[in-house]
Structure formats: structure tokens, C-alpha cells
Structure 1
């Protein structure tokens, strides 16, 4: 698996070992509905997680990306991002999507390239400190499926909850 590093990671991601992305991909593949999506990790820079999947696996009756596949990819990218930050902090926690909203802006007639990052105003340090102190924490995440010519085919906003395992 080829994994591209986009930029130097922020301090919170410095403790992420080289195998973390391999473990994340293995976890994705362990879920039968996700395994058939043929997704790959396209990059991670400590702030943004990018996933890729071929259009051929996600095409609808109009020849563009199936809306459910786009929603799934953005949910998975966001979940993976939060999970990577929890792991980098040395914590053992379950991560759940609490709620989400999606807007479909334009049909996507190309492979699915999704990028997830913390929502504006969200702070990883606060999220991790709260998880350490209280055993549970929330963070807002945003994701987009990119159009080949630029811009977004979809916009996704969500809140994720992490709960420390006992």
C-alpha cells in the first residue's frame, strides 16, 4: 500500500507509528460492507485523512457516484481521522458518529476522493484532554468529496464521540 504524506504532522500526531495507517486499512477491510467498497488510504498529514475508491464500485444508474457510497466514504474518512488522533494520543477508545449532515452539490462522474478534517473551531488538544479527563469527548469533523475540476461534489459535517474502553 502506498501512503503519501502531504505535510509535516502537527504535534498531536507525532506519536502515530508507521503502522497506524495499515491498522486503519485492516480495520476498514474487516467490515464486510466496507471491504467491497475497494477503498484505499490516499494520504494522511496529521490534520487531514484522504480516502479513495474507484467509481466502478460505486456507480449508480446515471453513471455517477452513488449517494450512499459518498456518504459512507465521508463517514469512514471522518471516523478514521478521529480514530487516528485517539491512537496517536495513546488512548484506547471506541469512536462513534453521533450525528451528521450531508449536502449533495454536484454529480461526481469520477473516482471517489474524500478528505476529512476537524471542523472550524474544533481543537484536537481539547478533544484529547477531555477524553483523558472525562472518559468521553466530542469533536466536529467536516469532509468533502472532491470534483476532478476542483470544488466539492458533497459536503459532510458530523460530530464524533470517543468513549474510553475500561
Structure 2
């Protein structure tokens, strides 16, 4: 990956276009003015302008930060499920948020796998059982590189039923 934080691997361009379209198909998300800012196969970055998410104190609204981190983590799981050639619905199972500092800048959020989780095991379990869960971490960054907000969550993927006569991969 290039050092440009808003770049993404062109190998993933089609998947990211589908993800962006999916985000825009949800009216509350479309109103958030969320864009995919980068993806390197391991981390998904989303961006939204502060002007759309400003609160009465002039900083980012806590609910917007929570939504952005939920969306980034959901998107990362969805991208890995698609990359594995599987079809599944992805849901957030539970999450925790720590607000560490007010954010007086655009919302830049990055989601990645939690240290105690692994994609191969998650995908294998989803293939075998039709259901799997995985831990993620997302962070909203301050302009100086510090962390404004940290989000930890577990996501669940549930395989979609295959059509009768469909071949398995």
C-alpha cells in the first residue's frame, strides 16, 4: 500500500464500490456523507465531514462517532466475507466505546481486526457452521494522530441460505 492514507489497493476497487453503494442505500448513512477513505486488505478507513456531525460544543457528535466506527467495522467484516466467496448477513453483536478526547475536525475512522481474532478461523467457522463471530477495533483519530474515540466490538456473520441446486465453493 502507498503511504497516502486515502489510497486503496486497486485490487479491491470493485468491492469498495459495492460497499460504498451499500452504505448509500441506507438513508441514515447516506445523510452522514460517509466515504470510503482507504482499504489495504487489513484496515478499512471511512471519512465524513465535521460539518455534517457537529454538536452544540462545536466538536463531533458522539453518536456520529459511534455510527462511523460501527459502519467501518461492519464494512471490514463484509469485505472479508465477500473476499472468501461467501454470502452472509453481518451484524454487530455487542460493542463498547471509550470517548477519550473531543474531536474538532473531520471524522476519520479506521477499523481493524482485534489482536485476539483471526480471519482464517472466522471464515472456516462460517463455512463449516454457517455462523461465526469475530472481534474488531475501530478508532477515530485526532488531527495530531492521537485517538479521540476507541470502539471494540464483536460482529456475527450468518450465511445466507443457498438456492436449491447451487454449487458450493
TM-score by length of 2: 0.90
The Cα of 1:151 is off from its aligned counterpart by: 1.1
Structure with bigger gyration radius: 2
Map of 1:41 onto structure 2: 36
2:18 matched to which residue of 1? 23
Residue in structure 1 matched with residue 86 of structure 2 by the alignment: 91
Aligned to 1:5: 8
**Among candidates 66, 81, 87, match of residue 76 of structure 2:** 81
CA distance in 2, matches of 1:114, 1:86: 21
Q: CA deviation at 1:5?
A: 2.2
- Post-superposition, which runs of at least 4 consecutive aligned residues in structure 1 deviate over 2 A? none
Establish whether residue 121 from structure 1 lines up as the match of residue 116 from structure 2.
yes
TM-score, length-scaled by structure 1: 0.91
Distance apart, 1:116 and its partner CA: 0.1
Unaligned runs of 5+ in 1: 9-15
Q: Please list every run of 5 or more consecutive structure 2 residues that lacks an aligned counterpart in the other structure.
A: 1-5, 162-169
Instruction: Please report the RMSD computed on the Cα atoms of aligned residues, expressed in angstroms.
Output: 1.3
Partner of 2:50: 55
**1:101 and 2:104 aligned:** no
- Alignment of 1:131 with 2:126, yes or no, is yes
Number of equivalenced pairs: 156
Please state whether the residue corresponding to 2:68 is helix, strand or coil.
helix
The aligned residue for residue 13 of structure 1 is: none
CA deviation digits over 1:33-60, x for unaligned, max 9?
Answer: 0000001000000100000000000000
Deviation string 1:83-113 (CA, Å, 9 cap, x unpaired) is 0000000000000000000000000000000
1:18 deviation in Å? Answer: 3.1
